[in-house]
């Protein structure tokens, strides 16, 4: 995985345990790095267009760590139309060739060695603690439903990244992963895939776009979106009985922009970023009364963050 993909993964998985929210703040925090790093970490020592290659050690050669904190204006839960501010942080890096990143309350590893040339691949385990509607929520009717139990998920992620696609300053990445509930609470399996494009705008500015999609199996859909007769009765019939099915869960799009505070991504230090995210829930994730009657299948997020590269 190239530097852009590594840091974008931090961006995607920074704060919240559920995928929609974690994607959001991650984009804000890592966007400032992932967009511009590959331009200067992997190009030659000659100039590319108007961008001069700085004669400095690369902060991402060898061992490194990224620490980021940020805030986002995000939905209360996946499918909610109630929004509020949430805060969080993330750590990402590489030690002795093994990449690591916190993902919500969890961690992923990249055990694949870096490859020479313009193509990188990544692969490794992904462990996650998911906490969705386990406590009070803002919607008074949804809050009457029986609380869900937290789940522990284990799976893996993989990706491929190609540098120097349109210019010497960009990269495109395809990534995906899957996880299974191993806590025994019935959370089922989730799958996600994403295509991302990053480009440097200067030595200290970068931007990126991504589109993605996610799926879930019947157990996942039943656990998070079905409403049992007992659940319906708990709401006084306000939410009818609903039997959710597996299949495609959502598609999403994100854009982010970042600035290195000393004008050079390559030497590490502080950077700031902002991001916007849109997710469209489909099928059972949108049709469940939790969303169709009390929430929205359109999910938005606006985020900002600051990070430091050691």
How confident is the model at residue 195, as a pLDDT?
A: 92
How confident is the model at residue 218, as a pLDDT?
A: 96
Higher pLDDT, 58 or 136: 136
Q: Collect all residues with Cβ–Cβ distance below 8 Å to 33 and sequence separation of at least 6.
A: 3, 4, 7, 66, 206, 258, 260, 265, 271, 307, 309
Do the beta carbons of residue 221 and residue 243 sit within 8 Å? Answer: no
Residues in the chain: 310
How confident is the model at residue 158, as a pLDDT?
A: 93
pLDDT above 50 (res 149): yes
Rg (CA), the chain: 20
Least confidently predicted of 7-21, 54-68, 84-98, 112-126: 7-21
How confident is the model at residue 201, as a pLDDT?
A: 81
What's the average model confidence in pLDDT over 113-139? 88
128: helix, coil or strand? strand
What's the average model confidence in pLDDT over 220-247? 96
For the chain, list the domains and their CATH numbers: 3-309 (2.40.160.40)
Reading the block at residue 124, the tokens are: 């490794």
Reading the block at residue 264, the tokens are: 């050079």
pTM score of the predicted model: 0.79
Higher pLDDT, 98 or 41: 98
What percentage of residues in the chain have a pLDDT greater than 70?
80
């Amino acid at each position: 995985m190239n530097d852009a993909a590594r840091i974008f993964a931090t961006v995607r998985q920074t704060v919240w345990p559920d995928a929609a929210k974690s994607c959001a703040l991650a984009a804000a925090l890592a966007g400032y790095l992932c967009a511009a790093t590959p331009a200067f970490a992997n190009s030659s020592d000659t100039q590319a267009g108007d961008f001069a290659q700085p004669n400095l050690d690369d902060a991402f050669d060898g061992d490194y760590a990224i620490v980021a904190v940020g805030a986002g204006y995000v939905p209360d839960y996946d499918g909610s139309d109630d929004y509020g501010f949430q805060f969080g942080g993330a750590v990402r890096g590489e030690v002795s060739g093994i990449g690591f990143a916190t993902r919500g309350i969890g961690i992923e590893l990249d055990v694949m060695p870096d490859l020479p040339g313009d193509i990188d691949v990544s692969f490794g385990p992904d462990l996650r603690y998911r906490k969705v509607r386990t406590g009070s929520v803002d919607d008074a009717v949804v809050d009457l439903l029986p609380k869900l139990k937290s789940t522990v998920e284990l799976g893996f992620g993989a990706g491929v990244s190609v540098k120097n696609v349109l210019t010497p300053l960009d990269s495109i990445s395809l990534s995906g992963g899957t996880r299974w509930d191993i806590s025994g609470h019935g959370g089922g399996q989730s799958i996600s895939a994403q295509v991302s494009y990053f480009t440097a705008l200067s030595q200290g500015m970068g931007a990126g776009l991504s589109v993605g999609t996610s799926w879930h199996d019947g157990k996942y859909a039943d656990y998070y979106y079905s409403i049992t007769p007992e659940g319906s009765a708990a709401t006084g019939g306000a939410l009818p009985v609903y039997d959710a099915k597996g299949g495609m869960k959502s598609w999403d799009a994100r854009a982010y922009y970042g600035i290195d505070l000393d004008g050079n991504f390559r030497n590490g230090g502080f950077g700031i970023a902002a991001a916007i995210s849109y997710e469209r829930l489909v099928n059972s994730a949108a049709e469940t009364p939790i969303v169709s009657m009390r929430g929205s299948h359109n999910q938005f997020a606006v985020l900002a963050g600051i990070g430091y590269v050691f």
